[in-house]
Amino acid sequence: MKIVMLGAPGAGKGTQAKMIAEAYGIPHVSTGDIFRANLKEGTELGKQAKVYMDKGELVPDELTVKILLDRVAKDDCKNGYVLDGFPRTIPQAEVLDKALSELGESIDYAVDVEVPDENIVRRMSGRRACLSCGATYHIEHIPPKKEGICDTCGSELVLRDDDKPETVQKRLTVYHEQTQPLIDFYTAKGVLKTVDGTQPMDKVFADIKAILG
């Protein structure tokens, strides 16, 4: 079972990807993690990627797909995997599609965790982080015992720049321009499934399980 997770930043797709991976015994494949692993291990692909990263450039789609295929060719992926963070654009999806079809494979499900923009802005701007110990909170859903103070280490909690409403709005704009077209791409392939991401996390997961069977 090969699954692609879609959804705006803050829609909760990463959390759902991890839950799917655990429930179905397949790896959660995050492009960020693969890049870090290749760089750390100093692999040939990692060295190629590092040339672009050192210049502050994006790693080309072909190389990203090569690194991804190298990961999904490993034994733990033989029953499938959940892709999180890739593809982000139509060209990436096309390169991935072509590479998989050459192996006689294809994506089985593209799961879109759908959440309206205003919910995401509210959700993310409510996040608070402790820069000392890394604990995270949410002023509505997981508030600290004492406002603005970390339960774990007593340090001050902050609203990260990434979670500020104006930053979130910018990220959403980029998402709608680049990633939203993927919904049409996977719809045309007949593999798109949409779930309501505004529901509680467990309910979203139950809906996904009903789709995957």
Domain segments of the chain as ranges = 2-116+176-212
Q: What is the overall mean pLDDT for the chain?
A: 92
* Mean pLDDT along residues 59-75: 90
Q: Is 160 a catalytic residue?
A: yes
Our answer to whether residue 47 is catalytic in this structure is no
Burial of 85 (0-12, 13-18, 19+ CB in 10 A): middle
Look up 171 and say whether it is catalytic: yes
Catalytic-labelled residue, pool 2, 13, 66, 71: 13
Q: Are 80 and 23 contacting, i.e. CB atoms less than 8 angstroms apart?
A: no
Q: Is 123 a catalytic residue?
A: no
Q: Residue 74: its pLDDT value, please?
A: 92
Q: What pLDDT score does 48 carry?
A: 92
At 128-166, the pLDDT tens digits run: 999 999 899 999 889 999 999 999 999 999 999 888 999
Q: Is 88 one of the annotated active-site residues of the chain? A: yes
pLDDT in the model for residue 174: 86
pLDDT at residue 159, as a whole number? 94
Q: How confident is the model at residue 17 (pLDDT cuts 50, 70, 90)?
A: very high
Span 101-136, pLDDT tens digits: 998 999 999 999 999 999 999 988 999 999 999 899
- Cα distances from 130 to residues 60, 140, 155, 165, 203, in angstroms, run 34, 16, 7, 19, 28
Q: Residue 57 — pLDDT band, cuts 50, 70, 90?
A: confident
Any idea of the CA torsion for 80, 84, 86, 88, to the nearest 10 degrees?
140
Task: Using pLDDT thresholds of 50, 70 and 90, give the confidence band for residue 172.
Answer: very high
pLDDT at residue 180 in the model: 87
3-state DSSP assignment of residue 42: coil
Confidence of residue 61 (pLDDT cuts 50, 70, 90): confident
Consecutive H or E run containing 6: strand 2-6
CATH no., domain 2-116+176-212: 3.40.50.300
In the prediction, which pLDDT does 80 show? 94
